[in-house]
């Protein structure tokens, strides 16, 4: 899923009916009105040319001129109105179609049940282009079709006029437009290729630009003097995009400039021919006015049709990215037979689970076999990169094992619809997200049914030790957290400290505590020693009799778990309770003693087996 979308002209043409259907469904009234106005706008210019000829002939040959003059005035008024009406209806259609496209795109993105696609930079490029395509290309395409219809009507009118004067000259003018069509279509393809080809550079440029204004990076960028370096990298990407764009512009200039010159020559030659025919007495003065308008009009409307066709073609090519995302399908295979996730009674079994993030990557998990028994507290420990968080992500089915299976009371996780599985899990991840939402919402999103239940939200916040802080904010629980506030009235929004954010994330998980499995991946990250101690104490109480999986580098926090699993290099190195592992004198005992030594006030004062107290940390 990384190549440029294929399909060429045929693929592009296949996309057109679907988009027109979507337009019709999204904005039927505006689309009909638009088409009517466009048709009127298309017929006015040739009609005006005919009436002008009539007027000139009557002026030179005699006859009543009031009717043609009035007709010209009416046609002028219609023409003046069509452009305004077109703009208005265009915007109406654009908004409705844009909304429908956005809805469809994000419904598809949210239907990706795993996270692998969000780690693929090319897929992210595609989503970005799909977003752009969703906003601009439908209208580009609809306009192309509508304006193409308008130009075609104008063309029909002028061709009729030209045919009256000279059939060979009509054929000459029409055939001279063919190269224009070919050149414009090729340029449209080049433009679409340019957009896809420069999208990695555009992504990097956005990344470097964003970093320079990102509050999380602001401190380090200033401290390390990185501003100029990031600016230069951003400009480097912009220059690369500009170079590619310049090359494209030169091609456009060469192609379109040459054709414009050829068009002028054709029109000039036609005019000379018409003047000679007037001299010979074959054509009237009115005919020459009609001829000049018809040649110009035919060429103009042909150019219009070709330009619209090229615009539409380019839009359809770019739309291929949108389609690729919308039609990407599930990223994790859907269960052949959907099984319900039963209430957890026996436990979760990992059976010879192997996992790597991509082909060619090293194994993150190597043949893990273990059971997380229901109603017991299991702890997972190990050095950095041992595979702890990976194992948790597999348990939540954000990825599927590359080999082996995970069984929920004997049911393979792959047979359980992910949303149902996740309904049964409460989790705090290592790097929880702080949302630019109110304090209430930041906790409430842990269980959307509790979003308006302030009592439940506060109870969770009390347990996470953050209620006093949130209640004391300028608007209490309705204060905006984060930095991107939605409106002026949110100007009282506040930033939280890292540890406070962690507590908010904990409260979010506590809101889901009635679930079958509670997963806590480093819940103490960023908490001060007293807070961490208190949180772990509460978690201990809470975990009693429930199924939980706790990951922590602070071994004192896991020592009372029913079972401790030690991971090393993606494998289970040892399993047992604290006492058994200490007796075994392996990896766990080594790490525990190392940590206990760091907490001991002096070498003789404390028994390592009594465990480190965060309150005595130095
Ligand atoms: N999204 C990812 N893509 C590719 N490799 C990854 C990804 N996430 C983790 N890894 C790799 O998988 C291995 C295990 O990582 P994991 O995060 O599971 O370790 P961990 O035991 O949780 O470590 P820590 O204690 O540092 O949090 C590491 O070698 C890491 O580089």
Quick one: three-class SS letters along 354-383?
Answer: EECCCCCCCCCEEEEEEEEECCCEEEEEEC
Distance CA 575, CA 390 (A): 18
CA 595 to chain centre: 44
For residue 115, the ligand 1 atom closest to its alpha carbon is 1
User: Which residue's CA is minimally distant from atom 4 of ligand 1?
Assistant: 357
Residues 286 and 411 in one domain: no
Confidence of residue 471 (pLDDT cuts 50, 70, 90): very high
User: Which residue's CA is minimally distant from atom 26 of ligand 1?
Assistant: 384
| Nearest residue to 531 via CA among 443, 617, 447 | 617
pLDDT at 111 over 80: yes
For residue 358, the ligand 1 atom closest to its alpha carbon is 4
For residue 567, the ligand 1 atom closest to its alpha carbon is 21
| Confidence (pLDDT) at 492 | 57
Identify the burial level of 542 via C-beta atoms within 10 angstroms of its C-beta, where 0-12 means exposed, 13-18 middle and 19 or more buried.
Answer: middle
Distance CA 454, CA 465 (A): 16
Distance CA 78, CA 611 (A): 88
For residue 391, the ligand 1 atom closest to its alpha carbon is 18
Residues 439 and 419 in one domain: no
Residues 185 and 277 in one domain: yes
For residue 553, the ligand 1 atom closest to its alpha carbon is 25
pLDDT at 446 over 60: yes
Containing 133, the helix (H) or strand (E) segment is helix 121-165
User: Which residue's CA is minimally distant from atom 24 of ligand 1?
Assistant: 384
| Nearest residue to 38 via CA among 99, 107, 85 | 85
Residue 331 lies in a domain: no
Residues 41 and 153 in one domain: yes
* Mutation to probe ligand 1, out of 114, 119, 382, 385 (largest number of atoms < 8 A from CB): 385
Q: Say if ligand 1 is within 6 A of residue 114 CB.
A: no
Phi, psi of 246 (to 5 degrees): -65, -45
Q: Say if ligand 1 is within 6 A of residue 387 CB.
A: yes
Residues 391 and 538 in one domain: yes
Residues 203 and 236 in one domain: yes
pLDDT at 499 over 80: yes
Distance CA 556, CA 613 (A): 7
Residue 358 lies in a domain: yes
> How many CB atoms are located within 10 Å of the residue 15 CB?
19
Q: Say if ligand 1 is within 6 A of residue 385 CB.
A: yes
| Nearest residue to 40 via CA among 150, 205, 134, 192 | 150
* Mutation to probe ligand 1, out of 390, 524, 552, 587 (largest number of atoms < 8 A from CB): 390
Q: Say if ligand 1 is within 6 A of residue 382 CB.
A: yes
| Nearest residue to 614 via CA among 498, 509, 524, 501 | 524
| Confidence (pLDDT) at 315 | 80
Residue 618 lies in a domain: no
Distance CA 531, CA 97 (A): 51
Give the distance (Å) from ligand 1 centre to CA of residue 23: 45
Give the distance (Å) from ligand 1 centre to CA of residue 211: 24
> Which CATH number characterizes residue 145's domain?
1.20.1560.10
pLDDT at 429 over 50: yes
What mean pLDDT is reported for the chain?
Answer: 83
Distance CA 489, CA 297 (A): 55
Q: Say if ligand 1 is within 6 A of residue 389 CB.
A: yes
Give the distance (Å) from ligand 1 centre to CA of residue 355: 11
- SS3 of 135-189: the string is HHHHHHHHHHHHHHHHHHHHHHHHHHHHHHHCHHHHHHHHHCCHHHHHHHHHHHH
| Structural domain span for residue 61 | 8-326
Distance CA 546, CA 502 (A): 22
Residue 80 lies in a domain: yes
pLDDT digit string, tens, across residues 277-287? 888 887 787 77
Q: Say if ligand 1 is within 6 A of residue 131 CB.
A: no
pLDDT digit string, tens, across residues 564-594? 999 999 999 999 999 999 999 998 999 888 8
Phi, psi of 302 (to 5 degrees): -65, -45
Give the distance (Å) from ligand 1 centre to CA of residue 380: 14
Residues 393 and 263 in one domain: no
* Contact criterion met (CB below 8 Å) for 465 and 531: yes
Partners of 575 in beta bridges = 565
* R_g (Cα) of the chain, nearest Å: 35
Identify the burial level of 534 via C-beta atoms within 10 angstroms of its C-beta, where 0-12 means exposed, 13-18 middle and 19 or more buried.
Answer: middle
| Confidence (pLDDT) at 604 | 45
Distance CA 293, CA 306 (A): 19
Give the distance (Å) from ligand 1 centre to CA of residue 383: 11
Distance CA 601, CA 604 (A): 8
| Confidence (pLDDT) at 234 | 93
| Confidence (pLDDT) at 576 | 93
Exposure pattern of 232-250 as b/e (b: 16+ CB <10 Å)?
Answer: ebbeebbebbeebeeebee
Listed residues 326, 355, 390: the one ending a domain: 326
Q: Three-state SS for 589? A: helix
Residues 92 and 139 in one domain: yes
Length of the chain: 618
| Confidence (pLDDT) at 610 | 41
pLDDT digit string, tens, across residues 382-425? 999 999 999 999 999 999 999 999 999 989 999 888 888 888 88
* Mutation to probe ligand 1, out of 383, 388, 558 (largest number of atoms < 8 A from CB): 388
> How many CB atoms are located within 10 Å of the residue 144 CB?
23
Going through 458-562 in order, the beta strands assigned E by DSSP cover 517-521, 547-551
Residue 132 lies in a domain: yes
What's the structural domain count of the chain? 3
pLDDT at 27 over 80: yes
Distance CA 150, CA 398 (A): 51
Give the distance (Å) from ligand 1 centre to CA of residue 389: 7
> Which CATH number characterizes residue 360's domain?
3.40.50.300
Containing 574, the helix (H) or strand (E) segment is strand 571-576
Residues 131 and 245 in one domain: yes
Give the chain's largest Cα–Cα span: 125
Residue 551 lies in a domain: yes
Residues 113 and 248 in one domain: yes
Give the distance (Å) from ligand 1 centre to CA of residue 464: 27
Residues 436 and 540 in one domain: no
* Contact criterion met (CB below 8 Å) for 97 and 30: no
Containing 573, the helix (H) or strand (E) segment is strand 571-576
Distance CA 291, CA 114 (A): 65
pLDDT digit string, tens, across residues 273-319? 888 888 888 778 777 777 777 777 777 878 877 887 788 888 887 78
Residue 403 lies in a domain: yes
Residue 306 lies in a domain: yes
Phi, psi of 494 (to 5 degrees): -130, 160
- SS3 of 199-254: the string is HHHHHHHHHHHHHHHCHHHHHHHHHCCCHHHHHHHHHHHHHHHHHHHHHHHHHHHH
Residues 547 and 479 in one domain: no
């Amino acid at each position: 899923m990384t190549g440029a979308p294929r399909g060429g002209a045929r693929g592009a043409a296949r996309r057109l009916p679907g988009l027109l259907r979507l337009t019709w469904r999204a904005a039927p009234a505006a689309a009909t009105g638009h088409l009517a106005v466009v048709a009127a706008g298309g017929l006015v210019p040739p009609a005006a040319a005919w009436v002008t000829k009539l007027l000139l002939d009557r002026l030179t040959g005699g006859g009543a001129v009031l009717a043609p003059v009035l007709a010209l005035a009416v046609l002028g008024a219609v023409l003046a109105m069509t452009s305004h009406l077109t703009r208005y209806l265009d915007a109406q259609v654009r908004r409705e179609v844009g909304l429908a496209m956005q809805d469809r795109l994000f419904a598809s993105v949210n239907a990706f049940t795993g996270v692998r696609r969000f780690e693929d930079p090319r897929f992210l490029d595609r989503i970005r282009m799909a977003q752009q395509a969703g906003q601009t290309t439908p209208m580009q395409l609809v306009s192309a079709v509508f304006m193409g219809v308008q130009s075609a009507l104008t063309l029909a009118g002028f061709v009729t006029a030209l045919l009256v004067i000279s059939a060979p000259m009509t054929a000459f003018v029409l055939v001279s437009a063919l190269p224009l069509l070919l050149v414009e279509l090729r340029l449209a393809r080049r433009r679409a290729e340019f957009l896809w080809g420069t999208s990695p550079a555009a992504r990097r440029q956005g990344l470097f630009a964003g970093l320079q204004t990102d509050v999380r990076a602001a401190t380090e960028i200033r401290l390390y003097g990185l501003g100029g370096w990031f600016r230069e990298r951003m400009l480097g990407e912009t220059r690369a995009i500009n170079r590619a764009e310049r090359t494209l512009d030169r091609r456009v200039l060469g192609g379109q400039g040459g054709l414009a010159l050829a068009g002028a020559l054709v029109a000039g030659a036609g005019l000379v021919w018409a003047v000679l025919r007037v001299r010979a007495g074959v054509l009237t003065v009115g005919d020459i006015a009609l001829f000049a308008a018809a040649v110009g009009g035919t060429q103009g409307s042909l150019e219009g049709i070709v330009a619209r066709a090229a615009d539409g073609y380019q839009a359809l090519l770019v739309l291929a990215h949108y389609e690729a995302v919308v039609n990407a399908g599930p990223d994790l295979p859907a269960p052949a037979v959907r099984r319900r996730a039963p209430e957890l009674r026996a436990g979760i079994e990992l059976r010879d689970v192997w996992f790597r993030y991509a082909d060619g990557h090293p194994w993150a998990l190597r043949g893990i076999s273990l059971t997380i028994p229901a109603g017991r507290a299991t702890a997972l420990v190990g050095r950095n990169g041992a595979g702890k968080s990976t194992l948790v992500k597999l348990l939540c089915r954000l990825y599927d094992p590359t080999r082996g299976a995970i069984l929920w009371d004997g049911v393979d996780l792959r047979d359980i619809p992910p949303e149902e599985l996740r309904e049964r899990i409460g989790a705090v991840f290592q790097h929880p997200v702080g949302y630019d939402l109110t304090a209430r919402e930041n906790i409430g999103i842990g269980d959307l049914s509790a979003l308006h239940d302030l009592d439940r939200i506060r109870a969770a916040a009390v347990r996470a030790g953050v209620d006093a802080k949130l209640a004391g904010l300028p608007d209490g629980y309705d204060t905006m957290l984060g930095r991107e506030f939605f409106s002026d009235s949110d100007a009282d929004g506040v930033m939280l400290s890292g540890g406070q954010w962690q507590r908010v994330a904990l409260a979010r998980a506590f809101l889901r505590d009635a679930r079958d499995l509670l997963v806590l991946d480093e819940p103490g990250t960023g908490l001060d020693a007293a807070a961490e101690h208190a949180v772990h104490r509460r978690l201990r109480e809470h975990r009693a009799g429930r199924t939980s999986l706790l990951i922590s580098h602070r071994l004192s926090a896991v020592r009372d778990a029913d079972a401790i699993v030690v991971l090393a290099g993606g494998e289970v190195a040892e399993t047992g309770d604290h006492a058994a592992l200490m007796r075994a004198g392996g990896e766990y005992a080594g790490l525990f003693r190392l940590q206990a030594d760091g907490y001991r006030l002096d070498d003789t004062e404390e028994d390592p087996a009594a465990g480190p107290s965060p309150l005595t940390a130095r």
